[in-house]
């Protein structure tokens, strides 16, 4: 199977297209599955199941944690409860105890955990579609399982980067296969001009069409960054899920603590 382990939708402040559009495009590009990893927002399981049925491609709910601009990121899959710990070691233990899987995304980039092996991540993203330079510095000396993810933030960024995985088309089978190391990154980084296409689309869809929402989001992010930087807060809010068919969507998700080692 070809599975992209790192995809953002417009539920991330810095991404353009809806989950439906991203899933539809992923199917069109020949992927067999994607993991939706919006920033600090766990994708609803039932919505993922609906999209899986509708488009015939496995949609796996995930989350990418950490402040988008000033903290290191981690990815979790197979977790259904909110993650409320502060330290990265507690977060990783929680994910493991929940039967989930942790991935260190872009470990050699500014917002990555370069010490992913000693921290105990289950897998490392040794091919990130948007990080041509930092990818080259990964040597995975601990030999933990490796995956590839596009880190796509818009439609044109899908279909270049993936993980070749020996598994059935179920979430459980995918998690098990990664734990056993039956996976390897495939494809390439996203070509420069396809990465560039993100910017005009972001400006059109997220700023010009929704100026007030863009202003509110930017203000919120700036405030979070300022609080984190001045040490007044170690937390960033996890927003509500929007899927109306999901019972959990109407429940407030606790604040997601950030690693601040
Ligand atoms: Zn990231
Ligand atoms: Zn990302």
Digit-coded pLDDT (tens) for 92-130: 999 999 999 999 999 999 999 999 999 999 999 999 999
Q: How far is the CA of 7 from the centre of ligand 2 (A)?
A: 7
CA distances from 24 to 17, 91, 103, 108, 225 (A): 11, 32, 25, 31, 34
Bridge partner residues of 236 (DSSP): 256
Q: 248 falls in which pLDDT band (50, 70, 90)?
A: very low
CA distances from 10 to 57, 90, 158, 230 (A): 19, 29, 14, 29
In sequence order, what are the residues at sequence separation of 6 or more whose Cβ sits closer than 8 angstroms to the Cβ of residue 157? 129, 130, 150, 151, 190, 194, 195, 197, 198
Q: How far is the CA of 138 from the centre of ligand 2 (A)?
A: 17
Q: How far is the CA of 131 from the centre of ligand 2 (A)?
A: 11
Q: How far is the CA of 37 from the centre of ligand 1 (A)?
A: 9
Give residues whose Cβ lies within 5 Å of ion ligand 2: 64, 151
Q: How far is the CA of 73 from the centre of ligand 2 (A)?
A: 8
Which structure tokens are listed for 216?
A: 């509110």
Q: What is the pTM of this model?
A: 0.88
Task: Give the containing element (helix H, strand E) for 46.
Answer: helix 45-55
> Mean pLDDT for the chain?
88
Q: How far is the CA of 71 from the centre of ligand 2 (A)?
A: 12
Region for 78 from its dihedrals, namely left if φ exceeds 0, alpha if ψ lies in -120 to 50, beta otherwise? left
Region for 62 from its dihedrals, namely left if φ exceeds 0, alpha if ψ lies in -120 to 50, beta otherwise? beta
Mean pLDDT of 127-150: 93
- The C-alpha atoms of residue 245 and residue 47 are separated, in whole angstroms, by 7
Domain 2-198 coded CATH 3.20.20.140? yes
| Spatial CA neighbour of 144 closest among 101, 98, 194, 91 | 101
Instruction: Give pLDDT, residue 232.
Output: 61
Return the percentage of the chain with pLDDT > 90, whole number.
74
Lowest mean per-residue pLDDT among 195-199, 223-227, 247-251: 247-251
């Amino acid at each position: 199977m070809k599975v992209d382990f790192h995809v953002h939708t417009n539920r991330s402040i810095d991404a353009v297209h809806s989950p439906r559009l991203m899933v539809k495009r992923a199917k069109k590009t020949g992927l067999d599955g994607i993991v939706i990893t919006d920033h600090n927002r766990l994708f609803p399981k039932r919505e993922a199941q609906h999209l899986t049925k509708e488009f015939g491609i496995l949609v796996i709910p995930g989350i990418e944690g950490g402040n988008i601009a000033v903290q290191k990121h981690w990815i979790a899959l197979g977790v259904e409860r909110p993650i409320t710990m502060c330290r990265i070691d507690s977060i990783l233990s929680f994910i493991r105890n929940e039967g989930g899987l942790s991935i260190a995304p872009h470990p050699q980039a500014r917002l990555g955990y370069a010490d992913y092996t000693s921290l105990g991540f289950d897998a490392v993203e040794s091919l990130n579609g948007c990080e041509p330079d930092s990818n080259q510095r990964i040597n995975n000396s601990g030999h933990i399982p490796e995956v590839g993810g596009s880190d796509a933030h818009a439609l044109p960024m899908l279909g270049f980067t993936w993980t070749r995985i020996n598994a059935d088309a179920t979430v459980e089978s995918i998690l098990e296969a990664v734990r056993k190391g039956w996976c390897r990154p495939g494809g390439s980084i996203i070509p420069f001009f396809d990465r560039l296409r993100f910017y005009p689309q972001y400006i059109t869809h997220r700023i010009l069409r929704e100026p007030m929402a863009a202003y509110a989001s930017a203000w919120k992010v700036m405030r979070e960054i300022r609080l984190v930087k001045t040490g007044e807060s170690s937390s960033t809010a996890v927003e509500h899920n929007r899927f109306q068919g999901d019972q959990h969507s109407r429940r407030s998700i606790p604040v997601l603590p950030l690693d601040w080692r």
